[in-house]
Amino acid sequence: MTGPAYDAALHLLDRQVVDSEGRMVCKVDDLELTVGDGGELVPTGLLVGLPALLPRFGRRIGAELTRTHARIFEAQAHRTSPDVVDIDLVEEVDSEVRLSVPRAGLLRPRDDDPSGPERVRLGDLLGLPVTAAPGHGLHRGSRLLDVRLVAVPDGRRHVVDALVVGPGRPGALLGYDRRSEPGPWLVADLVRWLHRHARVVGVGPEVVIDREDRVVRVGPGASVRPLLG
CB 44 within 8 A of CB 33: yes
Mean per-residue pLDDT for 138-158?
86
Pairwise CA distance, residues 209 & 35, whole Å: 12
Residue 146 has pLDDT above 80, yes or no: yes
Identify the pLDDT of residue 168: 80
Sheet hosting strand 30-35, strand order edge to edge: 108-109, 83-86, 41-48, 30-35, 119-121
Dihedral angle of Cα 174, 178, 182, 185, to the nearest 10 degrees: 110
Q: Band of the pLDDT at 174, cuts 50, 70, 90? A: low
Q: What is the mean pLDDT of residues 63-68?
A: 69
Beta strands 215-218 and 130-132: pairing type? parallel
Q: Sketch out the chain's domains with CATH numbers.
A: 5-122 (2.30.30.240), 124-226 (no CATH)
Does residue 186 carry a pLDDT above 60?
Answer: yes
Does residue 72 or residue 139 have the better pLDDT?
139
147 near 158, Cβ under 8 Å?
Answer: no
Compute the average pLDDT of residues 50-76. Answer: 70
What is the greatest pairwise CA distance in the chain?
56
Instruction: Please tell me the distance from the alpha carbon of residue 27 to that of residue 24, in angstroms, as a whole number.
Output: 9
The CA-atom distances, in angstroms, between 78 and each of 62, 160, 202 are: 19, 29, 38
Q: Which of 19, 42, 15 is nearest to 99 (CA)?
A: 19
**Structure confidence by residue, pLDDT tens digits, 210-220:** 999 999 999 99
- Are the C-beta atoms of residues 29 and 82 closer than 8 Å to each other? yes
Q: 189-205 pLDDT, tens per residue?
A: 777 777 788 899 999 99
Task: Give the confidence band of 172 by pLDDT, cuts at 50, 70, 90.
Answer: very low
Please tell me the predicted confidence (pLDDT) of residue 149: 94
How many other C-beta atoms can be found within 10 angstroms of the C-beta atom of residue 220?
10
Report the alpha-carbon distance of residue 28 to residue 85 in Å, rounded: 9
- What pTM, to 2 d.p., does this model score? 0.84
* Average pLDDT of the segment spanning 57-81: 65
